[in-house]
Amino acid sequence: MSMFFVQHGIALDKSVDVDRPLSEQGKQNVKNIANHFTKQDLNIKQIFHSGKLRSAQTARLFATILNIPKVQQHDLLSPNDDVNQLIPLLEDNCMYVGHLPHIEKMVSRLLCGNDNTKIVQFENAAVVCINRYEEGDRLSWMLKPSML
């Protein structure tokens, strides 16, 4: 069973658009990452996002390219939400699209039990896959736009 954690794509600055939609580069990075996975069977059944425009746009791009029919807002994926509230609600084979510092803290909490220990360094549109086992969660892989 896998879980996928994604930092939203690069967004426009607040001074350009207060809603902070994805920039053209942000859209392209998300598309590049998603297209990389079209040849793999990730078995993602649903994508959750924070509800912020940049997160929702990132989720919809992944859903369109990977043909994932269920995309839904989740109340516990905002930048400063408590990761401990989300952990019991995590579902296997789902993607969670969020923001820093939350998504980084979530991965750290799952992998080492401490959300203040920085295990991975995200970048916009990066995806981290964590596999769940009886003995605990393990980092399976990470893919960043800078790696493509």
pLDDT band at 1 (very low <50, low <70, confident <90, very high): confident
Q: Give residue-wise pLDDT tens across range 44-69.
A: 999 999 999 999 999 999 999 999 99
Cα-based distances in Å from 66 to 17, 27, 34: 28, 15, 7
Task: Give the separation between CA 145 and CA 148, rounded to whole angstroms.
Answer: 6
Q: Is the peptide bond before 101 cis (omega within 30 degrees of 0)?
A: yes
2-147 homologous superfamily: Phosphoglycerate mutase-like (3.40.50.1240)
Q: Look up tokens 């989720």; give the residue.
A: 59
pTM passes above 0.85: yes
- Confidence (pLDDT) at 148: 86
Mean of the per-residue pLDDT values for the chain? 95
Assess whether pLDDT exceeds 90 at residue 39: no
